[in-house]
Each structure stands twice: as C-alpha cells, then as structure tokens.
C-alpha cells in the first residue's frame, strides 16, 4: 500500500460521532476525581515509582532519581508546534509543552539539549499554577488545537495538577500525551479520562539494544504494556469534523539504521496484539545527533533501501492507518532549543 492510500484509509475510517466536544477531564474536575488523582500521584513522589525505573527516591524532599527531576515541573519550551502529525498540528498548531529531562538516555536523542541537560540551564522549574497559566496561553493567545505534553513520563503528577489548576481558568482543549513509551501502567491508569490522545514511541523490539542505546531496562515489555493500556483507554484514532484528533492512539516508530529499531517485530506486534486498525506514524528522520556517532551503526542517516523495506513490511501486515514520513534531509528536523519558543524551523512530519 502506498503512502497516499494510507492517508485516505485514515480519513475514510474515522468520524466524530459520539465524541463529546468537551474533554472528559472537565467532568472529572466537577466530580472531584481530578483532584483525587492529582493527590494520589503526588503521594507517590515520596518514594518515586512514577515511571518504570521505580527509583524510590523522595522527590518531595528534593531527592533526585534517574530523571534528575524533583517536585516541580521542569519546562524547557512552550510553543505552537506545526510539525506534528496533521491530526495533531492542524492549521493553528499544537500547544506543545516540552518538559526538561527524561527517563531515557538515548545516545541519538534529537532533543538532548533539554532531555540530557546536566547543567539544568535550558529548562525552568515552575510551579503547577504557572504551568497552568502557560496552558491557558496556548489555548487563548496562540489558539492551538490541543495541549501536547512532550516527555511527560517523569512528570505525570505535575501534569495532572497543572490541568486541575487550569480547568477553573478555562482550559477546554484536548490533551495529548507524547512519550517515549517507557511509561508506568500504574501511572497511565491515573490518566484515564484526562488524556484524549496518546502519542507514544515504540522504539525497540530488543531489550539489549534498548539498554545499549537508551539505558532502559526491559523497555520492550514496559512499552508494550503501556501501549496496550493506552489503547484500552482511548482506542483507535477518531478525528473531529475538521480532521483534528479528538481521541485515540497514534504509535510512532522511528526507523533506525541497520535494523536496530526492530521494525518488523514491533510492527507485527502492533498489528497482531493491538489492532490492524491502529494508527502508526513511521519516521525516517533518524540523524546521528548527540553521542550517536560513537556507535558505528548509528553514525549515518537511514538508507532509502532500509526505509523501503519497512514500508513493505507495513504493507504486508495490512496496517492501513497513519502516515509515512518522506525521506528527506534528516538534519532539517533537528530542533534547536536555544531558539526560545521556536525550536523547529520546519515541520517534522509530512502527510504521506
Ligand atoms: S520518574 Fe524519575 S525518579 Fe521517578 S522512577 Fe522515574 S526516573 Fe526514577
């Protein structure tokens, strides 16, 4: 199946029937459940098990675990992002909150300026009320289509607290949870009815490579369990009448050189264990950023032949919904977080 057929299949399948315009977290706010969830998540910061690393440190008292993050959210950039998938960015952009730090340490991370910033210089620690005001800014001033939390896995309690603060200020946009996939199922359960769109990566099919390239133990089982939980909560992608994501799961897969992402195995798992209808976003933009050039297999961009093989696999598996990023100048997708409020110069994902 060609790229354009994938795009057409998506638009034919989805509709907006039965999906309320008001995001479900509003009802949770009025019932008191949103407050209960924030408090339950915050209590877990005293012996942190918010992500699969389960460091057990007391972040409420300033202790830091693997993610080097404390009680307050670290925010690197808040901006309107026009380079996400078309159902996320739409015409007016996605209201993106880039959290600082990360619970992975990918040697090739394109966001390493903020995700692996040992100096802490590029992110600002702010309280959840200030973050809530930034969400309102994205909604009311920049008129974004949604709030898109990038790298939220280590800040789930702070995310929920900020939404709790933002609802009485008028927040009404759907929330997108945009993660590496290295998420705790227990934490994700607390997001049911809060997050409308899950946008996780599925990076590896091999724990050995996940450990070597991202420093993550048991990435495969954790990411697969997380994706199954996300799918249980929101199901297949449902755009509204404007073609914007109202609800659902989109799984991103970055193809790595030399087959290191285990594309065939991961995509087969998605088709067989999640759904053949699941929406996928296949990415060709790998670039040897950060420390990647120290690993010979990762010291180059993707070959056209490698990418063509993955597209053929998608075709053979019958995965019909989503996008395939075109091959292009991979370095044009690199963000620069020194450019305040505008880290991207070009869209990161094009409709196939
Ligand atoms: S969120 Fe941070 S401190 Fe908590 S378990 Fe994960 S890496 Fe450790």
Closest CA to 287 of 338, 339, 348, 341: 348
Residue 152 within any structural domain of the chain:
yes
Tell me how far apart the 2 most distant CA atoms of the chain are, in Å.
Answer: 55
pTM (2 decimals)?
Answer: 0.91
Alpha helices (H) along 97-152: 112-115, 128-136
Q: What is the pLDDT of residues 255-306, one digit of tens each?
A: 999 999 999 999 999 999 999 999 999 999 999 999 999 999 999 999 999 9
Residue 350 within any structural domain of the chain:
no
Q: Whose CA is nearest to atom 5 of ligand 1?
A: 54
Q: What is the pLDDT of residue 117?
A: 83
Q: How many residues would you count in the chain?
A: 352
Residue 345 within any structural domain of the chain:
no
Residues of the chain with pLDDT under 70: 1-20, 329-334, 336-352
Q: What is the pLDDT of residue 315?
A: 96
CA distance linking residue 329 with residue 348, whole number of Å: 11
Mutate which of 47, 52, 154, 188 for ligand 1? The one with the most ligand atoms within 8 Å of its CB, which is 154
Q: What is the 3-class SS of 300-342, one letter each residue?
A: CCCCHHHHHHHHHHHHHHCCCEEEECCCCCHHHHCCCCCCCCC
CA distance linking residue 176 with residue 97, whole number of Å: 10
Domain containing 324 — which CATH number? 3.20.20.70
What's the 309 CA to ligand 1 centre distance in angstroms? 36
Ligand 1 atom closest to the CA of 45, numbered from 1: 4
Ligand 1 atom closest to the CA of 65, numbered from 1: 3
Alpha helices (H) along the chain: 3-13, 25-31, 33-43, 86-89, 112-115, 128-136, 156-166, 185-189, 207-214, 219-234, 263-269, 304-317
Q: Whose CA is nearest to atom 2 of ligand 1?
A: 67
CA distance linking residue 67 with residue 55, whole number of Å: 9
What's the 294 CA to ligand 1 centre distance in angstroms? 27
What's the 102 CA to ligand 1 centre distance in angstroms? 9
Ligand 1 atom closest to the CA of 69, numbered from 1: 2
Q: What is the pLDDT of residue 325?
A: 94
Ligand 1 atom closest to the CA of 68, numbered from 1: 2
Residue 189 within any structural domain of the chain:
yes
Residue 352 within any structural domain of the chain:
no
What's the 137 CA to ligand 1 centre distance in angstroms? 29
Closest CA to 237 of 319, 164, 307, 171: 319
Using only C-alpha atoms, what is the Rg of the chain?
A: 19
Mutate which of 53, 54, 184 for ligand 1? The one with the most ligand atoms within 8 Å of its CB, which is 53
Q: How many domains does the chain have?
A: 1
What's the 48 CA to ligand 1 centre distance in angstroms? 6
Q: What is the pLDDT of residue 114?
A: 84
What is the span of the domain harbouring residue 279?
Answer: 3-333
Residue 154 within any structural domain of the chain:
yes
* 262-297: b (≥16 Cβ within 10 Å) or e: bbbebbbbbbeebeebbbbbbbbbbbbbbbbeebee
Residue 75 within any structural domain of the chain:
yes
What are the pocket residues of ligand 1 if the criterion is a CB atom closer than 6 Å to any ligand atom? Answer: 48-51, 53-55, 57, 65-67, 69, 103, 154
What's the 6 CA to ligand 1 centre distance in angstroms? 37
Residue 174 within any structural domain of the chain:
yes
Mutate which of 69, 72, 153, 214 for ligand 1? The one with the most ligand atoms within 8 Å of its CB, which is 69
């Amino acid at each position: 199946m060609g790229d354009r057929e994938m795009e057409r299949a998506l638009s034919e399948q989805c509709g907006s029937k039965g999906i309320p315009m008001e995001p479900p977290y509003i009802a949770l706010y009025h019932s008191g459940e949103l407050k209960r969830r924030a408090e339950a998540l915050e209590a877990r910061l005293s012996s942190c098990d918010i992500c699969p690393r389960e460091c057990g440190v007391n972040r409420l008292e300033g202790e830091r675990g693997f993610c080097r993050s404390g009680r307050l959210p670290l925010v690197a950039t808040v901006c309107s992002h026009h380079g996400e998938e078309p159902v996320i960015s739409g015409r007016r952009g996605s209201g993106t909150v880039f959290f600082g730090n990360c619970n992975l340490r990918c040697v090739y991370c394109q966001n390493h300026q903020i995700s692996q910033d040992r100096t802490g210089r590029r992110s600002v620690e702010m309280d959840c009320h200030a973050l809530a005001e930034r969400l309102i800014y994205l909604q009311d001033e920049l008129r974004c289509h949604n709030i898109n939390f990038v790298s939220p896995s280590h800040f789930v309690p702070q995310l929920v607290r900020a939404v709790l603060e933002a609802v009485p200020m008028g927040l009404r946009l759907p929330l997108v949870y945009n993660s590496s996939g290295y998420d705790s199922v227990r934490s994700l359960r607390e997001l049911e009815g809060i997050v409308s769109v899950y946008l996780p990566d599925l990076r590896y099919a091999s724990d050995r490579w996940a450990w070597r390239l991202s420093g993550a133990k048991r990435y495969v089982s954790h990411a697969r369990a997380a994706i199954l939980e996300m799918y249980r909560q929101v199901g297949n992608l449902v755009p509204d009448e404007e073609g914007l994501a109202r609800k659902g799961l989109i799984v991103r897969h970055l193809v790595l050189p030399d087959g290191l992402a285990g594309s065939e195995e991961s995509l087969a798992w998605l088709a067989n264990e999640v759904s053949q209808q699941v929406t996928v976003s296949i990415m060709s933009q790998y670039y040897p950023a950060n420390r990647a050039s120290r690993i010979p297999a990762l010291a180059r961009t993707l070959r056209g032949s490698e990418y063509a093989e993955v597209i053929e696999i998608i075709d053979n598996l019958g995965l019909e919904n989503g996008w395939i990023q075109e091959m292009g100048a991979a370095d044009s997708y690199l963000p620069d977080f020194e450019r305040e409020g505008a880290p991207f110069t070009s869209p990161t994902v094009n409709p196939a």
